[in-house]
Amino acid sequence: MSKNIIIRAGMAPYDNYDPTQIIVNNSIGGNVGNLVYQYSVFRTLMTDGTTITPDHYDFDPKYADEINEKYDAYIIPLADAFREDFVPSLRKYTKLIKKLKIPVVVIGVGLRAPFEPKLNEGFSFDEDVKAFVSAVLEKSSILGLRGQITSDYLSRLGFREGTDHTVIGCPSMYAYGRELKIRETNITPNSMVSVNSSRLSPKNVLDFIDRSMKEFPNHYFIPQWMKEMVMTYVGAPSVSNAKDNYPNRMSHPLYLEDRVRYPLNATGWFDFLKQADLSFGARLHGNIAAVLAGTPSILIPKDARMRELAEYHNLTHIMANEITDQTNIMDLVETLDFQSVTKNQGKNFDHYIDFLNKNNLDHIYKETLTPSSVPLDDKMDQIKVRPPIGTITGCTKEEMAQRWESYYPKVNEKAEKAKKKLTAKISEKDKIIKKQRGTLNRKSVKLALKVANMVK
């Protein structure tokens, strides 16, 4: 029996979009790291009888009837969605989910909090999280969480660990099944390395990443924010004018020297990282992508959301607060265990499959842990995946012109449509206000006449 699933995603792994399409439609949801865990969920749930359709991040409650009619389940993979600036989306999802008559399964969600979160003090979004989780539990058996900190948080809100929620880690880690294989590489100053970072990292981490990168002349920086994709592709605007150790403008050497690579899809990202001997930095999915490519990686967790995942998956890491001016990248290479991530993988994977089964989701591992046929792989084999894009400074004049001629007309067209939509909205509101004023004026005249008659 065929099934149709709708999933929270801006694009499918086989949507081979060009950079302009991705930027104009925000197909990466603001951060290309989203593509990594979405790819894993697609690969796991896409069976011969299952079609998976992205919702393109458009989850307006008004679509409830259409979703009920077309789909058999709504799959919602999330990152650190329990946070202040995601509250409007949580509320919107809660309204939609309450109207749905199909199963709704949350595959991975986490709390954004400081490295040492004070859960007992609560958060401003507690009530919104409770409403969202309650709505989901009416449509599924159990929620999958990113880590123990999030689990403790939901338990504090009154939800039961093991019954209402369970820790599954990040679905991205199960993209290729029960086994992980990290290559033994010979890491020397001549190695090709991949570097990732975040402007939100503390100064000691940014300083460490900056000086460590310089130890390897053959380095490449992989940014993840949408603004960074735009800057990589067309050269402007700057991500920020702040002068720190983060490459946030075109005048930074990484951009000037064409040492930046921005992924357009998950598999192209993995293929690029297979060429590297080492990946390091402060981006969770930047380093998980390396793990999936079999490349040794070092993650630098700076907050609770990264910490709980590093701990659950045994990701090779050094905590941000452990880094000093004396921390040396080659010393870490010598002392850290790059195979640690493989040690809990089997147990974690089995628990993940148990979670999928509890929610009655079909998947490619139903019959065997080593399926001979993987529908997503077969579909991906039919396309030539676009590789990560380089910086515009590395383009020929013809390539520069092609980028600008592709990008700016479509961006301007989108801006014009948004302007017309806003103008129409304002016009409609003006009509309503004018009508209300007219009604009020008529009522005022009637009241005045009534008072005059009473005085007479």
449: pLDDT strictly greater than 80: no
**Residue 451 confidence class, pLDDT cut points 50, 70, 90:** low
Write down the pLDDT at residue 185.
93
Q: Return the percentage of the chain with pLDDT > 70, whole number.
A: 96
The CATH number given to 3-177+344-385 is 3.40.50
Residue 298: how many CA atoms within 13 Å on its side-chain side?
A: 27
- Give phi and psi for 193, each to the nearest 5: -125, 150
d(CA 362, CA 234): 42
Helix locations, 31-108, DSSP H: 34-45, 64-70, 87-99
| Mean pLDDT on 407-428 | 88
| End-to-end Cα spacing for the chain | 81
Per residue in 342-388, pLDDT (tens digit) is: 999 999 999 999 999 999 999 999 999 999 999 999 999 999 999 99
Write down the pLDDT at residue 365.
97
Say how far residue 243 (Cα) sits from the centre of its chain: 27
d(CA 118, CA 116): 7
Q: Shortest CA distance to 391 belongs to which of 221, 225, 240?
A: 221
Query: Which of 187-201, 296-310, 412-426 is the least confident region?
Result: 412-426
Write down the pLDDT at residue 427.
78
Residue 318 Cα distances to 165, 234, 278, 311, 397, angstroms? 28, 35, 15, 11, 43
| Dihedral of alpha carbons 147, 335, 219, 267, sign | negative
171: pLDDT strictly greater than 80: yes
Q: CA-based Rg of the chain, rounded to a whole angstrom?
A: 25
DSSP letters along 99-157, please? H--S-EEEB---B---SS--GGG--TTHHHHHHHHHHHHTTSS-EEES-HHHHHHHHHT
Q: Shortest CA distance to 382 belongs to which of 3, 53, 15?
A: 15
- CATH entry, 193-343, from 3.40.50, 1.10.3470, 2.60.40, 3.30.70: 3.40.50
429: pLDDT strictly greater than 80: no
Residue 322 Cα distances to 199, 204, 327, 330, 422, angstroms? 18, 10, 9, 16, 49
Per residue in 254-286, pLDDT (tens digit) is: 999 999 999 999 999 999 999 999 999 999 999
Write down the pLDDT at residue 444.
65
Per residue in 313-325, pLDDT (tens digit) is: 999 999 999 999 9
17: pLDDT strictly greater than 60: yes
d(CA 269, CA 286): 9
| Mean pLDDT on 203-208 | 96
**Residue 2 confidence class, pLDDT cut points 50, 70, 90:** confident
Q: For the chain, what's the residue count?
A: 456
| Mean pLDDT on 188-207 | 95
Residue 162 Cα distances to 131, 145, 269, 355, angstroms? 19, 11, 35, 10
| Mean pLDDT on 160-178 | 98
Per residue in 84-124, pLDDT (tens digit) is: 999 999 999 999 999 999 999 999 999 999 999 999 999 99
Per residue in 127-167, pLDDT (tens digit) is: 999 999 999 999 999 999 999 999 999 999 999 999 999 99
**Residue 240 confidence class, pLDDT cut points 50, 70, 90:** confident
Q: Where are the domains of the chain?
A: 3-177+344-385, 193-343
Write down the pLDDT at residue 13.
98
Write down the pLDDT at residue 409.
96
7: pLDDT strictly greater than 70: yes
Q: Are 3-177+344-385 and 193-343 equal in CATH topology?
A: yes
Q: Using an 8 Å Cβ cutoff, are 39 and 172 in contact?
A: yes
Q: Using an 8 Å Cβ cutoff, are 205 and 302 in contact?
A: yes
Write down the pLDDT at residue 424.
80
Sequence-ordered strand ranges (E) for 286-355: 297-299
Q: Shortest CA distance to 87 belongs to which of 53, 58, 130, 25?
A: 130
Write down the pLDDT at residue 450.
73
453: pLDDT strictly greater than 90: no
Write down the pLDDT at residue 445.
59
Query: Which of 228-242, 249-263, 398-412, 438-452 is the least confident region?
Result: 438-452
